[in-house]
A and B are shown apart, each in its own frame.
Chain A
Amino acid sequence: MYFHHSEDRQMLADMLGRYLQQRYPFDIRNKISASPEGWSRTHWAELAELGVVGALFGEGAGGFGGTGFDIAAVFEGLGKALVVEPFLGTLMAGQALAMAAGKQDALLAEVIAGTTLLAFAHEEPQSRYDVSDVETQALPNSAGWALQGCKAVVPQIEAADRILVSARIAGAPGDEAGIGLFLVDKAAARLRGYPMVDGGRGGELVLDNTPATLVAKDGFPLIEQAIAAGIVALAWEAVAVMDVLKTTTLDYLRTRRQFGVPIGKFQALQHRMATVALEIELARSAAISAADALGQDRRTRERAVSAAKYTIGRVGTLVAEESIQMHGGIGMTWELPLSHYAKRLTMIGHQLGDEDHHLERFIALGHA
């Protein structure tokens, strides 16, 4: 039993931290985030060269990591700097591809090298976090497959060269069986991109007789595991964002003076701050538990993952709101990095299932 990163992971985390500190300071991040592309190919290539993408995948997939705690170390680092590049989609799509029976080695090698980017297009306008609610249809034709339907709010989909798309081969929306996974070339897809409230870009994917290559016929278990990895990533990103909010709020309580004293002298604020600090520690424990559970049996894994996402959602909202409140007016400004961290933390709650969704799922898994 120990609760620190292994030496290898710590080295990776330190290296990533140094890179982001030097090359990705906050003003650069905001420029990239608000740019027409909403991400930076230069940084992506450099981070891939440092091995940050490779750390997300196991040796079988050509990487050198891929466990829950590898994902944790990477996304903790990314969260601290509020990185907008498409790591989440790459992680989920890449992990699903690595689990698929078909040989995807060549594609994964390009992904790890940073030359090909992936997106993971699973959720739909009506699905509201329900993993099995897939309406998009996959129809076989002479050339292979064609997809018909719509995929919703896919992070950084415009950055992707290849998009991993779920579509129904058989059954009805809500069935776990009959969901296939397909690769779609961005060039063949119709995208509607847009900026996101917390930075970077997302997009809708419209599939209208769009040609696709089948990756897995029975895709549900792969999707579920890819999402579990994505939730571990989001949980650690969230904890890192919370740590930044905590540190900056403490600094503010120390230095901002009102009524002749630092505002940290006021009991009302001390109590709010203490609650924030202790809830962050509980959230960190939930993130540790989820990272650990990634390699375990389905029920253990999914319960831990849902518990973590519930916790992150609950605590994330608290920390974001309280950080702004304790900063007062200045916390409302675009200029202060704090507000951008608060926005990101809140929006993590809207990705891959919110607090209510995962509480309900945790209960359902308990009855199973």
Chain B
Amino acid sequence: MDLHFSPEEMAFREEVRAFLKDRLPTRIAEKVRTSKRLTKQDMAEWHAILNERGWYANHWPKEYGGPGWSVAQAAIFDIESALAHAPRIVPFGVSMLGPVLIKYGSQAQKDHWLPRILDGTDWWCQGYSEPGAGSDLASLKTSAVRDGDHYVVNGQKTWTTLGQYADMIFCLVRTSTEGKKQEGISFLLIDMKTPGVEVRPIILLDGEHEVNEVFFTDVRVPAENLVGEENKGWTYAKYLLTYERAGLAGVGGSMAAFNHLKEIAQSQRKGGRPLAEDPLFAARLARLEINLENLKITNLRVLAASGSGGSAPLEMSAMLKICGTEIRQEITSLTRRALGPYAQPFVSEALDEGFNGAPIGPDYAAPVAVDYFNNRKLSIFGGSNEVQREIITKALLEL
């Protein structure tokens, strides 16, 4: 066994650090560091900078424009980007749809859509969940009925993240009600500008517009936008869900958030001493630090086992999802506790770029409570952690 990066990988890490130092705009990094709101332009700007360097679609095979990184390189990039406060790459086009098209798409679909993902022509969103199909995703009802060389789509998707920015949506739709519910699902690409598509915002508990409802009323979709075969969409959907690889455990983001928590715990005082030295709080911090270290190594183990470009075993992906999200939630929870009474004030404008008002309490206080509330989503989305637990045991039991 060898946990250490090779000299080549260390050199690569230096290359990534130099790139981030040189090309990550300070303005954007500062917004990420201080948990300010990112605009669509901020995210698109960073995507374009990465794409110029060939690092945007960093887990795509080389022939499709990927850099051909090893799993270690991808992990290094993930961690270094997060520690440098780079925005997380918005995953829907590049990390989710991309791999599905590469594996299951037609040549024409690859030729058309992949370059547009890379250059940012299309902003993609994900049409999976429905009001009646959350964790039980396969019970989805949005229907697509073949009519000549089109599908006619009717129904509703929900929790559509950043759908308000999207040009395109990839959807799971029901094309058959025969047999098992998983067997009548197809994977369809829909232009958001098609007549009959309507996006309505859902405001979350933190007051933010992050997710949406998307309604489809007699939406006509060209049949060439079907990915793979009709009624085989569930296979592609599952492939997509296990393909998140390096990002799955969110190790880099949690490391950055933990560093921030440690700084806050040093600066907050209790009984005249830093909160970080309070025995009870120190114990909470230490447990978290150890768990995070264990997660880091587990993540590397899964990556190493899945091999370059491969996908992780189902139960290991599920474990990483649970551990990664629980740890991140614990970090945001401890950060909230660390603030004491100053977790309470909330001035929404303080999260906008260019806010000049005086901070209430410590200058890092403004986003902490809403960040905690927002991150309750982590154990719910992408298959709730309860669903993940069933996936793990069912895979192990083979019942």
Contacts and interface: CB of A to CB of B under 8 A. Distances in A.
A346 interface: no
A288 B2 CA distance: 9
Categorize the interface residue count of chain A. 35 or more
B301 A285 contact: yes
B121 to A, nearest CB: 37
A1 B399 contact: no
Interface in A265-322: 265, 267, 269-271, 273-275, 277-278, 281-286, 288-289, 291-292, 307, 310-311
B319 A278 contact: yes
B392 A277 contact: yes
Given A270-B394, A273-B393, A282-B323, A1 B287 contact: no
Interface string B318-344: 110011000000000000000000000
Interface string A1-22: 1111110000000000000000
A174 interface: no
B293 interface: yes
B390 A282 contact: no
Contacts of B392: 273-274, 277-278
Interface string B264-300: 0000000000000100001101110111011111101
- Judged by DSSP, the binding face of B is helix
B290 A362 contact: yes
Contact of A311 (B5, B283, B294): B294
A220 interface: no
Contacts of A72: 1
A4 B390 CA distance: 28
A47 B390 CA distance: 42
Given A282-B298, A285-B297, A359-B287, A69 B1 contact: yes
Contact of A359 (B4, B283, B315): B283
B389 A270 contact: yes
Contacts of A366: 286, 289
Contacts of A275: 389
A252 B135 CA distance: 28
Contacts of B301: 3, 281, 284-285, 288
B203 interface: no
A363 interface: yes
Contact of A1 (B304, B315, B390): B304
Contacts of A360: 283
A278 B3 contact: no
B305 interface: yes
A250 B282 CA distance: 37
Nearest to A356: B283
B386 A289 contact: no
Interface string B1-29: 11111100100000000000000000000
A310 B290 contact: yes
B315 A277 contact: yes
Given A1-B2, A1-B4, A285-B301, A307 B293 contact: yes
Contact of B290 (A1, A2, A311): A311
Contacts of A273: 392-393, 396-397
A311 to B, nearest CB: 6
B293 A288 contact: no
Contacts of B293: 285-286, 289, 307
A72 B3 CA distance: 14
B397 A254 contact: yes
Contacts of A270: 389-390, 393-394, 397
B7 to A, nearest CB: 12
Contact of A363 (B283, B316, B390): B283
Given A273-B393, A282-B294, A292 B286 contact: no
B1 A4 contact: yes
A69 B318 CA distance: 28
B397 A1 contact: no
A311 B287 CA distance: 9
B284 to A, nearest CB: 10
B72 interface: yes
Nearest to A304: B293
B399 A262 contact: yes
Interface in A339-368: 359-360, 362-363, 366-367
A307 B72 CA distance: 24
A62 B388 CA distance: 49
Contact of B1 (A3, A271, A310, A311): A3
Contact of B295 (A264, A269, A282): A282
A231 interface: no
Interface string B183-201: 0000000000000000000
13 contacts: A2-B304, A3-B304, A253-B397, A262-B399, A273-B392, A274-B389, A277-B393, A282-B323, A286-B294, A292-B1, A311-B290, A363-B283, A363-B286
Interface of B: 1-6, 9, 72, 277, 282-283, 285-287, 289-291, 293-298, 300-301, 304-305, 315-316, 318-319, 322-323, 386, 388-390, 392-394, 396-399
Interface of A: 1-6, 69, 72, 250, 253-254, 262, 264-265, 267, 269-271, 273-275, 277-278, 281-286, 288-289, 291-292, 307, 310-311, 359-360, 362-363, 366-367
Given A264-B399, A289-B297, 15 more contacts: A1-B5, A1-B304, A3-B304, A254-B397, A269-B393, A271-B386, A271-B390, A273-B392, A281-B301, A281-B316, A281-B319, A284-B301, A286-B297, A291-B1, A363-B282
The 8 A-B residue pairs with the shortest CB-CB distance in the complex, in nearest-first order: A274-B389, A285-B297, A274-B392, A270-B393, A278-B319, A282-B294, A307-B290, A285-B298
